[in-house]
Amino acid sequence: MYTLSDLRLAAQSPKSILREMNRLGHTRMRTQAYNPNGICVFDEDWDNLIILDACRYDRFADRSNLPGTLEHRTSRAGATREFVESNFRGRHLHDTVYLTANGWFQRLRNVIDSEVHKLIDLHMNDPDGRYHSEEFKVVPPEALTERATEAVNEYPNKRLVIHYIQPHHPFMGPIGRKYFKPRTANMNEVINESSDATPRLVRRAYTENLDMVLSSVSDLLPSLPGKTIVFADHGEMLGERHDFVPVRDYGHHNGIYNSVLTKVPWHITENGNRKRIIPEAPEDEAEEVDIALLEQRLADLGYKMGDASAPEVEN
């Protein structure tokens, strides 16, 4: 069912209208809340789950030299909000510590009735400025690696979910810094805001971000005991055409389930003995959140904000 905000967003541009037509095809006229062919990550076997935000399978396969075995899986989501809603909803994950550089779980946790043993949200909770880049308004990959390494010792009997924001824009490498603004609302605006921002440069800047986060993951892996999976919440369109109405597009979008967005890496690494996982009551689920600041930081990543109980249309 359409809401007034859906119609307003779709009316912003011809591309938005065409994207909405593709969304209707993928979601069977919005009768499906998420991709029914995707996995729920919490039903899978792992001790540590590393999530790369907006990471394409093909680019991961080309660029990664991580130890282990590369497979692929199908994601339930075309964007992070949808990933959080479809994987965490109704789950009380008292055996799990979630370290994240993306604020969507914090924004939705009450709406989707989900708990974890401990949420470490570096996107929001960084009072000393230790982890957050003021230039780019994101958590750099090395900062999340640093905090995750500490969490390994703090929570030896918990499953760890470690959610990097890269390779999601903003682009932080040499090409990214030269040709793109440090904070841009979404990937389509990345293309439109500068005459130098050609599709080729977007792909190169995206690859720089991917290389950056893969280097940090490589640094982290030796400290993670047991079975570790490197995964992606969704992929990224870099000029491919949509499935139903074949217009070219960029970015990632809720309700779009083409293979570019839903075929994601599933890289398996083993390091010594498996963990002995022990569920325990949550440590701090009642923590208050500055919703205005949280929404501003999500908006810095390109998300259109609105009622948390309503579906988000655009990235």
Instruction: For residue 210, give the nearest of 164, 252, 249 by alpha carbon.
Output: 164
Q: pTM (2 decimals)?
A: 0.90
pLDDT of 4 strictly over 50: no
CA distances from 97 to 39, 55, 94, 303, 306 (A): 20, 22, 8, 25, 27
In degrees rounded to 5, what are phi and psi of residue 166? -80, 150
Average pLDDT for the chain = 88
Range of the domain at 295: 35-300
pLDDT for residue 311: 47
pLDDT of 205 strictly over 60: yes
Q: What is the CATH number of the domain that holds 236?
A: 3.40.720
- Structure tokens given for 27: 């979601």
Rg from Cα positions in the chain: 18
Residue with the two structure tokens 């499953």: 159
Q: What is the mean pLDDT of residues 19-45?
A: 96
Per-residue pLDDT band for 313 (boundaries 50, 70, 90) equals very low
Evaluate whether residue 306 is within a structural domain: no
Q: What is the mean pLDDT of residues 255-273?
A: 98
Evaluate whether residue 7 is within a structural domain: no
Report DSSP letters for the chain, one per residue. Answer: ---HHHHHHHTT-HHHHHHHHHHHHHTTTTT-SS-TTSPPGGGS--SEEEEEET--HHHHHHH---SSEEEEEE-S-SSHHHHHHHHHTT-EEEEEEEEES-THHHHHTTTTT-EEEEEEETTT--TTSSS-BTTTTB--HHHHHHHHHHHHHH-TTSEEEEEEEEESSSP-SHHHHHHS-SS-S-HHHHHHS-TT--HHHHHHHHHHHHHHHHHHHHHHGGG--EEEEEEES---EEEEEPSSS--EEEE--TT---HHHHEEEEEEEEESSPP-------S-TT----HHHHHHHHHHTTPPP--TTSPP---
CA 152 to chain centre: 21
Query: Within 10 A of 72 (CB to CB), how many other CB atoms are there?
Result: 17
pLDDT for residue 114: 96
Number of domains in the chain: 1
Q: How far apart are CA 176 and CA 195, in angstroms?
A: 14
Q: What would the pLDDT profile of 142-189 be if each residue is shown by its tens digit?
A: 999 999 999 999 999 999 999 999 999 999 999 998 888 776 657 776
pLDDT for residue 156: 98
Q: Using an 8 Å Cβ cutoff, are 160 and 47 in contact?
A: yes
Evaluate whether residue 14 is within a structural domain: no
Evaluate whether residue 1 is within a structural domain: no
Evaluate whether residue 56 is within a structural domain: yes
- Structure tokens given for 196: 């130098």
Q: What is the mean pLDDT of residues 110-119?
A: 95
Cα within 13 Å of Cα(20), Cβ side? 19
Evaluate whether residue 113 is within a structural domain: yes
Instruction: For residue 107, give the nearest of 308, 315, 310 by alpha carbon.
Output: 308
Evaluate whether residue 121 is within a structural domain: yes
Peptide bond into 167 cis (omega under 30): yes
pLDDT for residue 294: 73
Per-residue pLDDT band for 7 (boundaries 50, 70, 90) equals very low
Evaluate whether residue 277 is within a structural domain: yes
